[in-house]
């Protein structure tokens, strides 16, 4: 009896210490195979944000645009090569998504220490978490163990990524299709507390919407002409108050009708998310906790695990067979 009890304890200890089972993500996935992974990513991210703080917002967006197309599989990183068509040329991504070079640098630094071990998909997830934290937001344990896709889908990128002109019902449906709740939608939209958007994405809002603060609309019109094709790429901060600090000012902007995108302001426009927006606007701790939980949930969208996919040597191309 004592012997079997000892054996059971040994098996339990092995189970607890072992990496995550195939098909399951775990923050300790690389505890043995690449124990310094977190330090390498953090050090590279600090250098990247010292060079350009805006890059943090870009890397959070990169994670979102990856996970919403085929799941969190680094498909967005694949370049168009020969007959292979990736997602970078899709409408929501082209001349818009940034940060590929930072992911390349993190991957190179990780490969130098742990060659062939860490996926590009996991690096994207870690970079998004570190971006949030280094700009003043919450941190969280990132479940790891994703593998990289060998495919990409420009058509899904065009259909599944919501437009900045989306109404609330469309947003709730798009997020619901990925297993994310309306609360997740509202929390994740808070990533717009940092970063910038192009004039072509908010022109309709500042010239056509009526639920907008007049002084805010006038401010944005100064650098975003009404004529389509004029100043399309001109940038404006998504958060007019603290554009490079991860805080809850985004929600205070919405309450004051100063959301930059139409898809921002619909979260506070007499609809189902108004009460939550008000809560977040006065309770930064609640927003931080919900944002972290929603980022983990988004990171669990259809990951490739076990023997599915591959660990790319170069995040931009599928490994040659």
Among 3.30.70.270, 1.10.420.10, 3.30.930.10, 1.10.10.10, name the CATH number for the domain at 168-297.
1.10.420.10
As given in the structure block, the two tokens for residue 291 are: 């944002």
Distance of alpha carbon 251 from alpha carbon 132, whole angstroms: 17
Angle at 125 between CA 122 and CA 128, to 5 degrees: 150
- Print pLDDT tens along the chain (321 aa): 444 445 444 444 433 344 444 458 999 999 999 999 999 999 999 999 999 999 999 999 999 999 999 999 999 999 999 999 999 999 999 999 999 999 999 999 999 999 999 999 999 999 999 999 999 999 999 999 999 999 999 999 999 999 999 999 999 999 999 999 999 999 999 999 999 999 999 999 999 999 999 999 999 999 999 999 999 999 999 999 999 999 999 999 999 999 999 999 999 999 999 999 999 999 999 999 999 999 999 999 999 999 999 999 999 999 985
Fold that domain 36-160 belongs to in CATH: Peroxidase; domain 1 (1.10.520)
Q: Is 137 exposed, middle or buried (0-12, 13-18, 19+ CB in 10 A)?
A: buried
The answer to whether 139 is annotated as binding is no
> SS3 of 242, please?
coil
Describe the crossing of helices 37-51 and 100-113 by its angle, rounded to 10 degrees. 150
**Boundaries of CATH 1.10.420.10 in the chain?**
168-297
Query: Catalytic positions, please?
Result: 65
As given in the structure block, the two tokens for residue 131 are: 């971006």
As given in the structure block, the two tokens for residue 93 are: 């991504």
The answer to whether 272 is annotated as binding is no
The answer to whether 184 is annotated as binding is no
The answer to whether 66 is annotated as binding is yes
Angle at 264 between CA 90 and CA 291, to 5 degrees: 90
**Boundaries of CATH 1.10.520.10 in the chain?**
36-160
The answer to whether 302 is annotated as binding is no
């Amino acid at each position: 009896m004592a012997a079997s009890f000892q054996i059971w304890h040994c098996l339990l200890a092995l189970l607890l210490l072992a990496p995550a089972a195939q098909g399951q993500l775990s923050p300790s996935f690389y505890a043995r195979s690449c124990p310094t992974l977190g330090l390498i990513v953090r050090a590279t991210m600090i250098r990247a944000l010292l060079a350009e703080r805006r890059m943090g917002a870009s890397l959070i967006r990169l994670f979102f645009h990856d996970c919403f197309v085929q799941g969190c599989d680094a498909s967005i990183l694949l370049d168009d090569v020969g007959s292979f068509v990736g997602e970078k040329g899709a409408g929501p991504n082209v001349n818009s998504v940034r940060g590929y070079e930072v992911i390349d640098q993190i991957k190179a630094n990780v490969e130098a220490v742990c060659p062939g071990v860490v996926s590009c998909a996991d690096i994207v997830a870690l970079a998004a978490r570190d971006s949030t934290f280094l700009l003043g937001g919450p941190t969280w344990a990132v479940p790891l163990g994703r593998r990289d896709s060998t495919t990409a889908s420009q058509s899904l990128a065009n259909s599944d990524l919501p437009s900045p002109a989306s109404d609330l019902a469309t947003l709730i449906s798009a997020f619901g299709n990925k297993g994310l709740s309306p609360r997740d939608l509202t929390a994740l939209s808070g990533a717009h507390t940092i970063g910038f958007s192009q004039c072509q994405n908010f022109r309709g809002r500042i010239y056509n919407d009526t639920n907008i603060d007049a002084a805010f609309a006038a401010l944005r019109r100064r650098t975003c002409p009404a004529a389509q094709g004029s100043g399309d790429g001109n940038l404006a901060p998504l958060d007019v108050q603290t554009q490079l600090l991860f805080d809850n000012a985004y929600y205070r902007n919405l309450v004051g009708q100063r959301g930059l995108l139409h898809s921002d302001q619909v979260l506070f426009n007499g609809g189902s998310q108004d009460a939550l927006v008000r809560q977040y606007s006065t309770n930064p701790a609640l927003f931080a906790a919900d944002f972290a939980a929603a980022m983990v949930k988004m990171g669990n969208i259809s990951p490739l695990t076990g023997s599915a996919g591959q660990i790319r040597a170069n995040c931009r191309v599928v490994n040659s067979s």
